[in-house]
Every structure is written in structure tokens, then in C-alpha cells.
Amino acid sequence: MSEYVIRQARPEDLDSIIKVNRENLPENYPPFFFKMHMEYYPKAFYVAEASGKIVGYVMCRVERGSLYTRFKPWGRQGHIISIAVYPEMRRKGIGTALMKAAIKSLREEYNVDEIYLEVRVSNNPAISLYKKLGFKVVRTIRGYYRDGEDAYVMARPAEIQQ
């Protein structure tokens, strides 16, 4: 039996989600930013819960723009804004499960054409996770992060055979 569940985030999870974000990523956001995404895109905001504790989350939004994967030039993009899992819960498949749940909702509930995200060029664990899910590096943004590090933009069509 799995030791965690993946479920849609609820307003009462917000404080725990913000805590996971602050303790696991240098990219932090004010509480309203999390609240706004939960209100606008609730079906693509997931948490992982283990023994009653929030141990990970993924937060997304939907945008319209010029597609990276270009099976048509313009369309709906699902943007994975932020994902994190507590260190003691990593390498158990939670990151993959959160990503798969978000991708499915972005595709089936929000009808996106492709999914994209930004990631630090040094973040090998995350890059490896995204590659396993079919994402490819489509662009590098110089100095994207506050400390000057570059970002890879990684994208994949919403629908791919895996």
C-alpha cells in the first residue's frame, strides 16, 4: 500500500503548502499568490499527504501563448509554476505522481495544448524528473533567477504516448 495520497489542494492546506515551499525552494511567493492559483485553477493544484501531513505540492496556471512544441503556433499552455517535496519523502515517486496528476488535469479539465515550466539549469533531480515525463529543454533564459542563475524552459505536448 502507498504511504501517501495525492489529492486536490484545499484552502485549509494553504499554510502547510507555503511551509513546504519556503523550506524547499528559494523561489517563494506571498500567500495571496498561492490562494489566487487555488481559486483560479483548483483542479491543477495538488498536494501529497502522508500520515495527515502535507509533504508536497504542485501549483499550476493556464496561459495563452506561442507554443514551444509547435504542433500549432498559438494555443493554451499549462504552466507548472512550482513543485516541491520534503527531503525525507523524496525518491518515493511523489514528485512523479504530483506531476502526472497536474498534467492530466491541465489536459482534461483545462484543455491545454502543451505544458511548460522553468527550472534552474543546476537542478538535476528536477530536470531528470521532467525528462522522464517527456519534457524537453526548449529554451534557456539567461539570469532568470534572482541570484543570476539561468533557467531552462522545458515543455511537452499535453498529449503524448508514454
Point out which residues bind ligand ACO (CB under 6 A).
24-25, 80, 82-85, 90-96, 117, 119, 123-126, 128-129, 132
* DSSP H or E stretch at residue 102: helix 94-108
Q: What is the closest distance, in whole angstroms, from the C-beta atom of residue 78 to ligand ACO in the complex? A: 12
Residue 62 Cβ vs ligand ACO, minimum distance, rounded to whole Å:
15
End-to-end CA distance of the chain: 24
**133 closest CA partner among 160, 113, 110:** 160
**What is the identity of the amino acid at 107?**
R
Shortest distance, position 83 Cβ to ligand ACO, whole Å: 4
Nearer to ligand ACO, 72 or 142 (CB): 142
When the beta carbons of 129 and 138 are compared against ligand ACO, the nearer one is 129
Minimum distance, C-beta of residue 102 to ligand ACO, in the bound complex (Å):
10
Output 67 or 99, the one with its CB closest to ligand ACO.
Answer: 99
Instruction: Answer yes or no: are the C-beta atoms of 16 and 85 closer than 8 Å.
Output: no
Which positions ≥6 away from 5 have C-beta within 8 Å?
A: 48, 49, 50
Pick 67 or 83: Cβ nearer ligand ACO: 83
Q: Residue number with the shortest CB distance to ligand ACO?
A: 95
Least Å distance, CB 156 to ligand ACO, is 13
Strands annotated E in the chain: 5-8, 46-50, 53-66, 74-85, 114-120, 136-141, 151-157
Query: How far apart, in Å, are the Cα atoms of 106 and each of 24, 64, 67, 157?
Result: 24, 13, 15, 11
Judged by beta carbon, residue 25 or residue 160, the one nearer ligand ACO is 25
